[in-house]
Amino acid sequence: MKWRLVFLLALVLPDLPLDPFHGGLAASLWHPLGVDDLGRDALLRLLLAGARSVGFASACALLALGLALLLAWRGRRWRGALSALRSLPPVLFLLPLAAALGGIGIAALLLLLGLLLAPHLEPPLRVKLDTIRRSPAWAAERTLGATPASTLRRWGPWALDQAAVLFPSAWLGALWGEATLSTLGLGPGPSHDSLGRLLLEQLPRLATDPSPLGWGALVVVLGLAWSASKPPAEKRTALSRG
């Protein structure tokens, strides 16, 4: 979880300069993945787009997990509304919104994806929190007159650990959500380069006009999928013991 949070810094990096008179160059020593049609170094573009997408997904996952934790803790009475929100397909909800607003900016998309992901993360967190709420330790604390502040101090780190286990799935949801909207042409504008935009540009060309940038984008996406599919540490230990 922690290494992905480093990429939050990439959200404030400047854009790459355009040099359209030197576009479309093949791979060379100075440009290992070549240069795109607008004269931007493809490797640099891939790194910047990847870092920005990872930073966006990390910020979105943090927001969604925070909200999900709050809903799991206090949202019991809103179970019906949360169930209906889980039945709303996020992309189908975002499409009319993007069409109505003429596209969704990066900050608004972060907020919306966070809000739409939170109801999906709430049930597994609620199951874990309910186990603790029914335990003798919890009942003993209530009997001894624990205040909300002391409860938060005692159980907060544990709840954060439980939320951290769900971070990879929230992160992937945000990453692919942004990529999907960009693929449908409804994500942030062309000024915001991301993995979604790269996939949109390069994937259809792979069969007929493959470029190193296209293959590079594919490798980065598969690498991210590989890193997010790693089981949590305690599970690996249990499996290795078994």
Cβ pair 205, 214 in contact under 8 A: yes
Output 96 or 157, the one with its CB closest to another protein: 96
For the chain, the residue count is: 242
Stretch that binds another protein, among 10-18, 26-34, 50-58, 205-213 (CB under 8 A): 205-213
Output 154 or 235, the one with its CB closest to another protein: 235
Q: Does 172 bind another protein (CB under 8 A)?
A: yes
Burial class (CB in 10 A: 0-12, 13-18, 19+), 227: middle
Contacts of 52 (CB under 8 A, 6+ apart): 7, 10, 11, 13, 192, 193, 194
Measured between alpha carbons, how far apart are the two ends of the chain, in Å? 26
Output 70 or 127, the one with its CB closest to another protein: 127
Q: Does 184 bind another protein (CB under 8 A)?
A: yes
Output 92 or 137, the one with its CB closest to another protein: 92
Among 28, 83, 135, 150, binds another protein (CB under 8 A): 83
**Of residues 216-235, which lie at the interface with another protein (CB under 8 A)?**
218, 221-222, 225-226, 228-231, 235
Q: What H or E segment, with its residue span, contains residue 120?
A: helix 106-133
The tokens of 236 are what?
């690996």
- Dist. CA 70–CA 216, nearest whole Å: 39
Q: Which amino acid is at 5?
A: L
Output 21 or 226, the one with its CB closest to another protein: 226
Q: Does 176 bind another protein (CB under 8 A)?
A: yes
- Dist. CA 57–CA 67, nearest whole Å: 15
At its nearest, how many Å lie between another protein and the CB of residue 181?
A: 10
The tokens of 125 are what?
């967190």
Q: Does 127 bind another protein (CB under 8 A)?
A: no
Residues 85-124, one symbol each (x = binds another protein by CB under 8 A, - = not), give xxxxxxxxx-xx--xx------------------------
Output 78 or 158, the one with its CB closest to another protein: 78
- Dist. CA 182–CA 66, nearest whole Å: 25
Q: Does 63 bind another protein (CB under 8 A)?
A: no
Q: What is the DSSP string of 188-204?
A: S-TTS--HHHHHHHHGG
**Of residues 5-24, which lie at the interface with another protein (CB under 8 A)?**
none
Q: Does 240 bind another protein (CB under 8 A)?
A: no
Positions that interact with another protein (CB under 8 A): 78-81, 83-93, 95-96, 99-100, 172, 176, 179-180, 183-184, 199, 203-204, 206-208, 210, 218, 221-222, 225-226, 228-231, 235, 239
